[in-house]
Structure 1
Amino acid sequence: MKIDELLQQVSTPLGAGAFPRGPYRFHNREYLNITYRTDAAALRKVVPEPLEIEDPLVRFEIMRMPDTTGLGDYTECGQAVVVKLGQERGEYLQAMYVDNHPAIASGREVSAYPKKLGAPRLYVDSDTLVGTLDYGSLRIAVATMGYKHQPMTPEDAKAEICVPTFMLKLMRGYDRSMRICELVRMQISNVEVKGAWHGPARLQLFEHVLAPMADFPVREVVSASHIVADLSLPAAAVVHDYLAR
């Protein structure tokens, strides 16, 4: 392969990359969001400066993505901490568990999504929307929400899922020294809300050393939503370089 051809490749292995070139468009992406209050001290242990925490809120999310250009059909679960950077409020993505290798590889290599392999599910059980997360053979989370109890306006749904998102990109060089250490920002765009609802919800988190969602214990469920939308993920941008000192 010529050098010019090599520089056009997206990912290894050459000829059958781990993921295709983006951008990626999500069709009928379905969210179960549960925002809850937790312990501020627990958040401050892991949320990096210069992000700030005012109210100790976490959004637990399970996203069912049945039709994603280039990446296929998969489900994702994560925790997003409500933060502030300067005067801008947004969310810091602390952890994401995904059942699709192209989504994991592209999220980590091209952007800064903190993705690990997991087994999330989102489904309807009679009159209840249910979200679960397994890590290996163990159950890590169970979320339940009343199915389509109250309508939510498209404007409120967009405001909830389109907040600025901050992520930490860490990469070490071959000598094990830090090569990249950046805080990046991303914001969902080009959104078409197809349905959105509020409802009562509960969330249980279980202890696991390598999937420590329960480190942010549930003290109070603040709100819950069920949203279906088409959307796009634009490229992330660096907002703070920790090595530029």
Structure 2
Amino acid sequence: MRVEEVRRHVTTPLTSPAFAPVVPRFTDREYLNIVYRTDAEALRTVVPEPLRIDEPLVRFEVMRMGDVSGYGPYTESGQAIPVSLDGERGEYLHAMYLDNFPATASGREVSAYPKTIGAPNLYVDHGVLVGSLDYGTLRVATATMGYKHHELDRREAEAQITVPTFMLKTVVGYDGSPRVQELVRTEITDIAVKWAYTGPARLQLFQHVLAPLADLPVREVVSASHILTDLTLGGVKPVYDYLEGRAS
């Protein structure tokens, strides 16, 4: 394989890449979002500067991907933390657990999504929307919400999903020290909200050393939403370089 051919590849192995070189389009992406109040000190230990925490809130999410170009259907769960940077409000993506390896590898390598393998699920049980996350054989999160109790304004639903998101990108060099360490920003584009609902909700988090969602404990459930959308994920742009100690 010639040098110029190698340069056209973005992942390994060269002859059987871990993920397809496409910009995925998400069709029928279904969200269960539960925003809850947690301990401010717990947030300060995990949110990197220069991001600022305005309120001690966390958004727990379970997303069922109905169809994704390049990856097929899969389910994802995680935590996002409301933050601000230079006056712009957004969310810091703290942790994401998926049941699809190509989507996990792509999210980490091409962008900076904090993805790892897990076993999330989203389903309806006797009039209750249930979102769960297992790590291995152990349950680490269970969320329940009344199924389609009250319709939610679609503009509000879109605003919930399209806030800018910030992520930490770290690439380790061969000597073990960071080769790249940046705070990056992205946002969702080309979104179409098909329907949206709100209702009563509960959330339980269980202690697990390798899936420490419960380190951000639930003190009060603030709001919940159940949303179906089509969307595209935008590219990432660096906003702060930790190795240089300055904004990008």
**Matched positions, count:** 245
CA–CA distance in 2 between the matches of 1:215 and 1:87?
27
Q: After TM superposition, give the deviation of residue 71 of structure 1 in Å.
A: 1.1
CA–CA distance in 1 between the matches of 2:38 and 2:132?
20
Which amino acid is 2:175 matched to?
A: D
Secondary structure of the corresponding residue to residue 142 of structure 2: strand
CA–CA distance in 1 between the matches of 2:157 and 2:231?
12
- What percentage of aligned pairs have identical amino acids? 63
Q: After TM superposition, give the deviation of residue 154 of structure 1 in Å.
A: 1.3
Which amino acid is 1:72 matched to?
A: G
Matches within 5 A, 1:132-171: 132-171=132-171
Matches within 5 A, 1:88-167: 88-167=88-167
Deviations 1:25-67 (A, max 9, x none): 0000000000000000000001000000011000000000020
Matched residue, 1:241: 241
Secondary structure of the corresponding residue to residue 224 of structure 1: strand
CA–CA distance in 2 between the matches of 1:157 and 1:20?
30
CA contact (8 A) 1:24 1:70 kept: yes
Q: After TM superposition, give the deviation of residue 10 of structure 1 in Å.
A: 2.6
Matched residue, 2:185: 185
CA contact (8 A) 1:34 1:201 kept: yes
CA-based RMSD of the aligned residues comes to 0.7
Secondary structure of the corresponding residue to residue 204 of structure 1: strand
Q: Which runs of 4+ in 1 moved over 2 A?
A: none
Greater Cα shift, 3-12 or 112-121: 3-12
Matches within 5 A, 1:1-245: 1-245=1-245
Deviations 1:180-200 (A, max 9, x none): 110000100100111100110
CA–CA distance in 2 between the matches of 1:177 and 1:38?
33
TM normalised by structure 2 equals 0.98
Q: After TM superposition, give the deviation of residue 144 of structure 1 in Å.
A: 0.2
CA contact (8 A) 1:10 1:19 kept: no
Secondary structure of the corresponding residue to residue 105 of structure 1: helix
Secondary structure of the corresponding residue to residue 93 of structure 2: strand
CA contact (8 A) 1:113 1:167 kept: yes
TM normalised by structure 1 equals 0.99
Q: After TM superposition, give the deviation of residue 86 of structure 1 in Å.
A: 1.1
Deviations 1:77-119 (A, max 9, x none): 0100010111000000000011000011000000000011100
CA contact (8 A) 1:43 1:216 kept: yes
Which amino acid is 1:138 matched to?
A: L
CA contact (8 A) 1:192 1:230 kept: yes
Which amino acid is 2:11 matched to?
A: S
Unaligned stretches of 5+ residues in structure 1: none
Secondary structure of the corresponding residue to residue 72 of structure 1: coil
CA–CA distance in 1 between the matches of 2:76 and 2:31?
10
Unaligned stretches of 5+ residues in structure 2: none
